[in-house]
Amino acid sequence: MLEADFIGANATVKKLDKIFSDAKSPATKVATAILMFSFGGLPKKEGKEGENLPPGVTEHDLMFASISPSLDSTMIKAVLKEILARCLYVHYDGARYAFKSTPNINKLLEDEVDNISDTEIKNEIKSLLESELGGKSAIIWPNQSRDIPDKEPTFQIAYLPFDFVYKTQSEQEKLGIEFLTQYGDRPRSYRNGIGLAIPDKDQIEPLRRSAKYLIAIERLKNKKRSLNLTEEQIEQLKEREKTEIASRDSALRGLYNKVWLLKIENGNPIIDAVEIGGRAIQSTNIHDRLMNLLMRTTTPKVFDSLTPKKLLDYIKDETIGVETIIEIFFSSLDSPKVVSKNVIIEAISKGIKDGLFGLTTKDYIQGVRDVSLIPQKNVIIRQEVPIDEIDVESSYIVSSKKIKTIDEKSDITIPLSSQTISSPIEKEKEAHISYCASESKITNVSYELKLTRAQLYKCFKAFENLFEKSKKISLKLEANFSEGVDHNWIRNAFEEPLEENGVDIVNKDYK
């Protein structure tokens, strides 16, 4: 008993003295006072002659024996709580504290804790997170960028694993940008619909410790008969369980307080960090706290509503598919981040009701003299349209200026098979595309494009569309360097990555 709790190299009271470092050896003083009262034999002040008090000391008498100018009652209560929770041979019967030669529940608990592996603790914490984040747009502990889904029209938060915070700052930023910009070996399409939740290093160890002790407590409860646990020990176990649950919940609530978003600065992708800090956020759920942070700050980062006029500011086109609008908002970093595609669809529904634009389908869009026009009878405008009646794949919105009465007998109406509607992302190529009004199909196209880095990112969807039909295309690239670059840089930075991915460089010319 003395070795474990008082005089050993790893004695419990010595560890507690280091925790309460504001006073001089407070745990040793309080524990020693309890020990002195643990032998019993003190006569009762009231009662029959020869009657003695049982071993131990009440909290009132312990205060009276321990209090001093350097050790006040508040400190004594705090120390006493830790002694009861951590010392292996202290006992409390509901009235008196005493050290005994038989171990208390803490000794059994510590022995059980020694048998718990790191993997078991990790699985327990992951199970807690799965329960906490169930039903949310959350990804738990992704190991690679492909673990975070792409092309999901909802704002997702990926909760990074604990080992992330033990990397260097540069390693963290590199991995963070990879997760935000890549999906496996290809660029991420919906880069504007993702955030990374960064774990707080200060909360990891308290959470691991509480999870470990709760596993041990559960095991002891299951073995109480074989261990012959007394009623006193079972009560101690229940009290310890309450303490550890409170500690676990507190650490879990503060585990993720920071979100990384992606933004472009001077043509380069960088991290935009948003942190709870001193903000008063009422939500206790981890995901709700972070979404509240992103949506309710002074300068919101994510929106759960959008006005029809704001919607039009970002799509520009007078005739455009609803599916394309959703792709613009979730892929272009110039667009506002929204909670889900329903925010966009609700804005469309309100815009139709307000008469800002109409709703039609692709089948009703016709071309007259190279201008897309829609028969008025085939457009819904200034009417209530429930969001569940707006089909994302087939619906188009159209400016009121494009709603015309078309002469159905006109011989210059272009057949539907030759009509194409370009999205704003495709228009950024600045390519002039000429379509034939006949029924013959195009078998070859050729473009000459001039792109900035930012424009190239935005055009990946257009290239994907081309690949779906052609499977393989040829590119002619020309890059100018105002200050010049050496041959090795070209080789390492551009040519080798292409070759590693199986791209054939048919011809190259250096100047």
Q: 262, 296, 330 — which closes off a domain?
A: 296
Tell me the two tokens of residue 178: 């990879």
CA distance 511 to 177: 33
Give the model's pLDDT for residue 50. 56
How many CA within 13 A on the CB side of residue 369? 3
Let me know if residue 509 belongs to a domain: no
Structural domain of residue 10, as residue ranges? 2-103
Position 419 scores a pLDDT of: 35
The domain boundary residue, chosen from 296, 328, 362 = 296
Alpha helices in 87-159 (DSSP H): 105-113, 118-133
Domain limit, last residue, from 296, 326, 356: 296
Residues 385 and 483 in one domain: yes
User: Are 289 and 308 part of one and the same domain?
Assistant: no
> Is 260 exposed, middle or buried, given 0-12, 13-18 or 19+ CB atoms closer than 10 A?
buried
Determine, yes or no, domain membership for 506.
no
Sequence-distant (≥ 6) Cβ neighbours of residue 80 within 8 angstroms: 30, 59, 62, 97
Per-residue pLDDT at 41: 63
496 and 362 assigned to the same domain: yes
Residues 310 and 234 in one domain: no
Q: What is the pLDDT of residue 42?
A: 67
- Looking at residue 433, its pLDDT comes to 35
Shared domain for 356 and 395, answered yes or no, is yes
Which tens digits make up the pLDDT trace of 57-90?
999 999 999 999 989 999 999 999 999 888 999 9
- pLDDT score at 51: 67
Asked whether residue 179 falls in the same domain as residue 288, the answer is yes
Domain co-membership, 14 together with 85: yes
Residue 432 has what pLDDT?
A: 37
Q: What is the reported pLDDT for 454? A: 63
Instruction: Return the pLDDT at 283.
Output: 85
Residue 507 lies in a domain: no
**How many Å apart are CA 233 and CA 4, to the nearest integer?**
19
* In a domain? residue 508: no
Same domain flag for 356 and 468: yes
Same domain as 398, residue 278: no
Which residues of the chain fall below pLDDT 70? 40-52, 366-373, 404-441, 453-454, 456-458, 460-461, 464, 468, 471, 488, 492, 497, 500-502
Give every strand in the sheet of 138-140, ordered side by side: 138-140, 156-159, 194-199, 256-265, 268-275
Question: 159 exposed, middle or buried (CB, 10 Å; 0-12, 13-18, 19+)?
Answer: buried
Pair 331, 249 in one domain: no
By DSSP bridging, strand 403-404 and strand 371-375 are parallel
- 258 and 127 in a common domain: yes
Following DSSP, what letter does each residue of 335-369 receive, concatenated? SPEESBHHHHHHHHHHHHHHTSEEEEEGGG-EEET
Is residue 317 a part of any domain in this protein?
yes
Q: Report the domain count for the chain.
A: 3
Are residues 341 and 465 located together in one domain of the fold? yes
